[in-house]
Amino acid sequence: EIWASSFDYSMPIFQLTCLISEMGLNIQEAHAFCTIDGYSLDVFVVDSWETDMLLRFSILLFLKCCFPKQPPSSLVETQQNCGTLREKNRLSTGCDSSDVWEIDANMLNFEYKIASGSNGDLYKGVFQCQDVAIKVLKVESLNEDMKKEFAQEVNILRKVRHKNIVRFICACTRPPLLCIVTEFMRGGSVYDFLHKQKGVFNLSTLLKIAADVSKGMTYLHQNNIIHRDLKAANLLMDENETVKIADFGIARVQIQSGIMTAETGTYRWMAPEIIEHKPYNHKADVFSFGILLWELLTGKLPYSKLTPLQAAVGVVQQASAGLRPKIPKHGNPMLVELLQRCWQQEPSLRPEFTEIMVALQCISKKV
């Protein structure tokens, strides 16, 4: 066993997994613990350990901690210019004036809470006689980074218009209340249907949902937007079972900051290049879509017997192909072949969403 304690829980887990991999060790188990005041304890169970490895491991760990590699200047410049590039490639909504969508919070009628998270709450409400969903940031956890993330999500949502992307209605961007108002999706999330209501999609419905998601993602990618957090919880259904993609901005900023914790759960859908903090592009969304297809096909949570952190370690370290969910024996072979293409370890081998749309159409015609 390898035990590591630190006062900065965002740092050691990634250094240690990389170091263990470099030494040719296989991680059998991984456990992460943290306290509310910032201390962490990471425990790894490895095999192939030899007695003379201790000194080498200690030296390498010291070098990594004291002399970390600097990221390529080109990547730093790309991240710094990210907002500028998006502004150049932005979509026109007819009017960019904030007067069109900025509202006073008193215009909203809050009915009941739908869900609650660490940074915000989601409410069912009414705005101008229409049912809406209201996402409110928690004042007690508000900081400058969260304000920037919030503004970025508003900036994306107000510019995108597609039948398979949740429709932005308005927002309140003036403190103390920060909220985003979108259309209310009566069917709830795909995640809740599968894992809380224990629902099952038949093959025709599954293919329709997959097609809805691929259409929405095609639109986003064609407009230089990478979702970065494509998962069942961020797919919402209306009363007609039309699926729309939701939740923009926040997850992307969190990933770029390099702070990802096992508690978020996004590890289960995350592409290996993101887990390893390598440069990534829109093909990371395709990987997540492959995991999502498996989830729709089986009705199961990906890597349900593993913690999110254990799953992440397996995805990047198990042999060269990485850990993937077990393929069901009786799954549609054409759909299975598609999802396996989507979750290829090498991003360039994954299909574009335009190709995925065509493949889904072909499958639909044959079933």
Catalytic residues: 229
d(CA 35, CA 198): 33
Task: Give me the torsion for CA of 294, 298, 304, 306, rounded to 10°.
Answer: -40
H or E element: which one contains 132? strand 130-137
Helix and strand totals (H; E) in the chain: 13, 11
H or E element: which one contains 75? helix 73-80
d(CA 256, CA 274): 9
d(CA 229, CA 302): 15
Q: Say whether 123 sits in a helix, a strand or coil.
A: strand
Beta strands in 15-64 (DSSP E): 26-34, 40-47
H or E element: which one contains 156? helix 144-157
Picking from 210, 213, 237, the residue whose alpha carbon sits closest to that of residue 227 is 213
Picking from 301, 302, 299, 296, the residue whose alpha carbon sits closest to that of residue 314 is 302
